[in-house]
Structure 1
């Protein structure tokens, strides 16, 4: 089995560890070595049976291991991009993890470092970039495009031809009308119904979704 390291030890990282177990239950694939976290208080702990080994620089000592960056949250939509920029690993070092219960069509594509959790559906010609996080029960339909570092929270549903920009965050249960664009580092609130394009670096929420305020974006570098 291929050695695997998860960067982060928070909620998403715990979910990804369980995803790895589900993959291995279906077909032994990954030797999950543990979490890497730069918070010294977490190092040495055991999280849901998986050890927190060291800081993220450990990836350079384990050149045989594949890596997944497991940080996500609406308060910092650029965290995965910052970590990836700092580590500067080649694309082939990153694993792509897809839950066995996900339905991913033959015409869809998922980039390196991306995470697809349980019961996700990608119907036809869906394009998911690098380091994207797709949470459980998300539905992406024909010709949807999700750019690098975006996060689609649980239960969101997109009609066809939607484009989600780099580092955007779409909240749980959001609905997005066909052919719309959600701009880079935009934030769509949970349960929102998006009927208009959402500009970059803006927060929209409601039914229908409306502009709330500018988004606070911590730099990617």
Structure 2
């Protein structure tokens, strides 16, 4: 069984611990976090073993970046890349109840939690997070570091860019696109394409905050 280290002592890390313990997919060694006050603290039974920079001390372990925002995950992956951690060192965490069609692609470092529904020909980039009860329609494509919050639903043929954040219970209509580093607010109903680096909220969704500000 492969060893796994979780990066960041967050609520998402707790979700991942539950998932991995249910699936038996990995042997979780512990957690790395940059908060020095957490050193040696137990998080749901998993010890905090050091900071992110200590990843090199575990040459055989895989990693899962457990930060809820894609931009934060991207920053940690870049830090680890500069310290010599390669892309093949990231594990993919799947809830044991998820049924993936054979023609799906799930990028390394991705996390898919309970009750997620993934349609045929879905392609998810590296370090994607799919929270509970998300629905991803047929042939959806998502870039690296995308976050699908709990209860969000995306239709067939949707295109989601890099670093996008889809809010809780948001909906994206068939065939639409959401540009890089944009965010869709909680409960929003998207009925037209979302440009990159914008935040859209409301029903129907409209632009709200410039520069990709998050509206959960």
Q: TM-score range by the shorter chain?
A: over 0.9
The C-alpha deviation readout for 1:175-201, integer Å capped at 9, x for no partner, is 110111111111100111000111111
Tell me the secondary structure at the aligned position of residue 124 of structure 1.
coil
Tell me the secondary structure at the aligned position of residue 179 of structure 1.
coil
The C-alpha deviation readout for 1:29-63, integer Å capped at 9, x for no partner, is 31110110011122221111111111012220111
CA distance in 2, matches of 1:86, 1:160: 35
The C-alpha deviation readout for 1:149-199, integer Å capped at 9, x for no partner, is 010001111110101110010001111101111111111001110001111
The corresponding residue for 1:170 is 166
Aligned counterparts, 1:11-30, within 5 A: 11-24=11-24, 29-30=25-26
The corresponding residue for 1:180 is 176
Unpaired runs of 5+ residues, structure 1, are none
CA distance in 2, matches of 1:85, 1:137: 29
The corresponding residue for 2:44 is 48
Residue 216 (structure 1) shift: 4.8
The count of aligned residue pairs is 210
The C-alpha deviation readout for 1:61-120, integer Å capped at 9, x for no partner, is 1111011111013xxx41111110110121211101110111211111100000000111
CA distance in 1, matches of 2:201, 2:182: 11
Relative contact order (alpha carbons < 8 A, sep ≥ 6): 1 or 2 greater? 1
* Length-normalised TM-score, structure 2: 0.94
CA distance in 2, matches of 1:43, 1:166: 32
Contact 1:103 1:119 in 2 (8 A): no
Which of 135, 138, 146 pairs up with 2:131? 135
Tell me the secondary structure at the aligned position of residue 37 of structure 2.
coil
CA distance in 2, matches of 1:195, 1:216: 18
CA distance in 2, matches of 1:110, 1:143: 13
Aligned counterparts, 1:196-211, within 5 A: 196-211=192-207
Q: Name segments (4+ residues, structure 1) moved above 4 Å.
A: none
Root mean square deviation, CA, Å? 1.1
The corresponding residue for 2:76 is 83
CA distance in 2, matches of 1:65, 1:130: 18
The corresponding residue for 1:33 is 29
Q: CA, structure 1 residues 216+159, in 2 after alignment: closer, same or farther (shift >3 Å)?
A: closer
